[in-house]
A and B are shown apart, each in its own frame.
Chain A
Amino acid sequence: MSGESANLPQRAEVEDFLYAEAALLDDWRLDEWFALFAPGAVYEVPTAGAPDDDDPTKSLFYIADDYVRLRERVVRLGKKEAHAEYPHSRTRRSISNVRVLGREGSIAKVACNLLCHRARAGKVDTYFGHALYTIDTTGDGWKIRSKRVMLDMDLLYPGKVSIIL
């Protein structure tokens, strides 16, 4: 085992972290979820079928939040005037195929598959895709530096991404 891979976080640790993150979203504990992000972090959802390395300064995304807009997205979803999610939808996220791709300094690169079902007002939406994270694993609690969710769908059948994926 090389020195580099010896420093990688174990997959089980990463799984625990991602499962806990998913549980916070499913439970609508969005303030706690946002606290997982480091200042300066970004949260992005390119359009369905876009390449993993698509650039939000050149291509149209669904979501390309900087830290401030992500905070405001969370604030907004806490209000009953966020009509698309009030009453809240019921969701369940399944995280699988977790891979630790590597590390740059203290930042681990992680990939996983994501399946999210959302039920609301008599309709079930399915979001499926994969996600790429960069996670700062130094310090007491891990902090997400970036989260990008690629929807592996040809079109956005649910019509909107009103939840956080």
Chain B
Amino acid sequence: MTLLDPIVRQRHAPTRSGFVVEEPDRFLFRVARRAFTEEAVLEAERRNIFDRCWLYLGHGSEIAQNGDYLTRSVGGREMVFNRDRGGAVHAFLNTCPHRGATLVREPRGNALAFQCFYHGWAFNVNGRFASRYAEGNYGEGHYDGGCADLTPAPRIEHYRDLYFINFDRDAESLEDYLAGAKEYIDIVADHGADGMEIVGGDQSYFINANWKLLAENSVDGFHGVPTHSTYFDYLQEVGGVRMGGGGDVAAAFRGAMKDLGNGHAVIEYPSPWGRPVARWTPAWGEDKRELIEQGRARLIQAHGQERGLRMAEYSRNMVIFPNLVINDIMAVTVRTFQPLAPDRMAVSAWALGVRGEDERVRALRLFNFLEFLGPGGLATPDDVEALECCQKGYRNLREAPWNDISKGMPRGAGARTDDEEQMRCFWREWDRRIAEGPVKVAGGAV
């Protein structure tokens, strides 16, 4: 076989960016590994994707009180996310309008005003310049037009207390952008009669891999059993597995996949694990059973038999293009990731819980979260290992230039959770935005 695979040579059908090859008649979908390794690709992503898509900033519960603020890196910018004294929520670029110094240097807190330590310019928490200098320091009209005010993100909008920003002033509305993902955000947001809240801090860590590898991995039902066999061994051992179908873990994962539009996708499947919101498992002990059953009954009462059971029994992994994941699994995690380099990303992950839930359920939620998720969980470190191994493997891309993302294509619209259609949804949107955005990058495999 030559370096150019005969399939590609004969039936080369690149999509617009040249990085994705989709051949429906051959049930073939491939992505050039260059898309994971090149600085030019990342630059195109920054301008064509991160400057134009709605990016997750934070949850309203993280700035619950007037005056609360936190700082966060989003889309290559340093942001301040805060609630002003009147309760309005803002997203400011964390830079002093005077000479550019980082304005807010605490990770979080509550403030009546922000003041730059460098020269002392001060701002109300609604972003307005608040210093008053004696006449003669600045010319008349210097403050007019907001040139001394904090610079806000061009757009900030929220859906079910999830706040997003967009650096494209002309972008479509957040709700239009979220499209079909709204239904699944609703399912999570409706876990709590009084809404949801971020629980007790974040897990922030780094992965030496391209950011798109985590987008793929987060909704990848195919890798679950082979990569995480030791997690399922653990579940079996402690009595944490509860499922029909005769104990076949792989079969239990076979639910449905849905294209949510705009690059978003979800897989939904019967849960093999316990869910503190409403699905008891023997590992938690009989003493917790009634408590969890009450949660289940409450969901069914509030949302009807069909939707209530779906909320209680099923798990969902959702990617919202480009870099937000909401996984409603053995706990609920909200996860976002920012590219730092083609081969490195920063990850932030949170636990989302029912606002005002019983403290025993809260404790169980956090305990259950850690059995799988996060840098010390019994599964996520193996995902990190897999992603870093992929990145290392791409050093061979001149001779081995393609990723294969074809699984389940013959099933068409009946794609299963352990197929790869959800990743194809992501890649089609990535391909469109890379091709249509202002920064052009030469496509192709090598």
Contact = CB atoms under 8 A, between A and B. Distances in A.
Interface of A: 45, 47-48, 50, 56-66, 68-69, 72-73, 75-76, 79, 81-85, 121, 123, 155-162
Contacts of A123: 208
Interface string B226-250: 0101110110011000000000000
B370 interface: yes
B334 to A, nearest CB: 11
Nearest to A73: B378
B206 A72 contact: no
B370 A63 contact: yes
A161 B227 contact: no
A47 B362 CA distance: 18
Interface in B161-218: 199-208
Interface of B: 199-208, 227, 229-231, 233-234, 237-238, 350-351, 359, 362-363, 366-367, 369-371, 374-376, 378, 380-382, 384-386, 388, 392
A155 B227 CA distance: 26
A122 to B, nearest CB: 9
A72 B351 CA distance: 23
B384 A61 contact: no
Contacts of A162: 375-376, 381, 384-385
B208 A159 contact: yes
Contacts of A81: 229-230
A131 to B, nearest CB: 15
Nearest to B371: A69
18 contacts: A57-B359, A57-B366, A62-B370, A63-B370, A63-B376, A64-B367, A82-B230, A83-B227, A84-B384, A84-B385, A156-B204, A156-B206, A159-B205, A159-B207, A160-B205, A160-B376, A161-B375, A162-B385
Given A47-B204, A66-B367, A75-B237, 19 more contacts: A56-B366, A57-B366, A57-B367, A60-B351, A61-B366, A61-B376, A64-B366, A65-B370, A76-B231, A76-B234, A81-B230, A83-B227, A83-B382, A83-B386, A84-B385, A156-B204, A156-B206, A160-B205, A161-B376
Smallest CB-CB A-B distances: 7 pairs: A59-B200, A62-B376, A57-B363, A63-B376, A84-B381, A162-B381, A156-B205
Contact of A62 (B199, B375, B384): B375
A150 B230 CA distance: 26
A58 B200 contact: yes
A157 B206 contact: yes
Given A81-B230, A84-B382, A159-B207, A60 B375 contact: no
B199 A155 contact: no
A59 B199 CA distance: 6
Contact of A76 (B200, B233, B367): B233
Contact of A160 (B229, B350, B359, B375): B375
Contacts of A56: 363, 366-367
A57 B206 CA distance: 25
A159 B395 CA distance: 21
Contact of B230 (A57, A61, A79): A79
Contacts of A75: 233-234, 237
Nearest to B238: A68
A159 B384 contact: yes
B234 A58 contact: no
B169 to A, nearest CB: 32
A156 B362 contact: no
B370 A61 contact: yes
A30 to B, nearest CB: 14
A95 B394 CA distance: 39
A106 B350 CA distance: 38
A152 to B, nearest CB: 15
Contacts of A155: 204-206
A96 to B, nearest CB: 23
B218 to A, nearest CB: 16
A62 B375 CA distance: 6
A51 B282 CA distance: 33
Contacts of A156: 203-206, 375
B366 A60 contact: yes
A50 B378 CA distance: 21
Contacts of A64: 366-367, 370
A83 B390 CA distance: 13
Nearest to B348: A155
A118 to B, nearest CB: 12
B359 to A, nearest CB: 7
A50 B367 contact: no
B109 to A, nearest CB: 14
Contact of B375 (A65, A76, A82, A159): A159
Contacts of A66: 367
A39 to B, nearest CB: 15
A115 B369 CA distance: 27
Given A61-B366, A79-B230, A72 B374 contact: no
Nearest to A164: B376
Contact of B369 (A60, A76, A82): A60
A142 to B, nearest CB: 25
B208 to A, nearest CB: 7
Nearest to A162: B381
Contacts of B381: 84-85, 160-162
